[in-house]
Amino acid sequence: MNENWQQINELIQYPEKGIFSRVIFKSQKLEMTLFCLAGGTEISDHTSTREALVSVYEGRGEFILAGEKIEMKAGTLIHFLPKAVHSLKASDNMAFLLFLVN
């Protein structure tokens, strides 16, 4: 893995069930994690201690942020602040990047 660039499509690995995740960048100010969810996988309500961005790479799903339903598809970018309640469900295999900001 190169420290200066990544080919995201080469890192995607879909599990038969559940979630595959991999931290692909980490510094004092930013952490970037690739999430690959098998279709039908759900992540129940939770919060983050940090500001975050979710950038959908491929697949489809639904993100619920503070009660608002957001369609997840390639190109969708979702921003939320610390302590915001959120959940999601992958309709089909879905890959997204989670950026956590310090």
CATH code for position 84? 2.60.120.10
Q: Is the dihedral of CA 23, 76, 68, 15 positive or negative?
A: negative
pLDDT at 3: 65
Inside any domain, residue 1:
no
**17 falls in which pLDDT band (50, 70, 90)?**
very high
In a domain, 29, yes or no: yes
- Considering the domain boundaries, does residue 5 fall inside one? no
pLDDT band for 2, please (50, 70, 90 cuts).
Answer: low
Residue 12 lies in a domain: no
In the chain the first and final C-alpha atoms are separated, in Å, by: 24
Burial class (CB in 10 A: 0-12, 13-18, 19+), 41: buried
Q: Is residue 37 one of the residues assigned to a domain?
A: yes
- Model pTM score: 0.93
Q: What domain count does the chain have?
A: 1
Domain boundaries, position 38: 18-101
- Which pLDDT band holds residue 1 (cuts at 50, 70, 90)? low
Looking at the chain, the whole-number percentage of residues with pLDDT higher than 70 is: 97
SS3 sequence of the chain: CCCCCCCHHHHCCCCCCCEEEEEEEECCCEEEEEEEECCCCEEEEECCCCEEEEEEEECEEEEEECCEEEEEECCCEEEECCCCCEEEEECCCEEEEEEEEC
- The mean pLDDT of the chain is 95
Residue 13 domain-assigned? no
pLDDT, one tens digit per residue, over 66-98 is 999 999 999 999 999 999 999 999 999 999 999
Is residue 88 in some structural domain?
yes
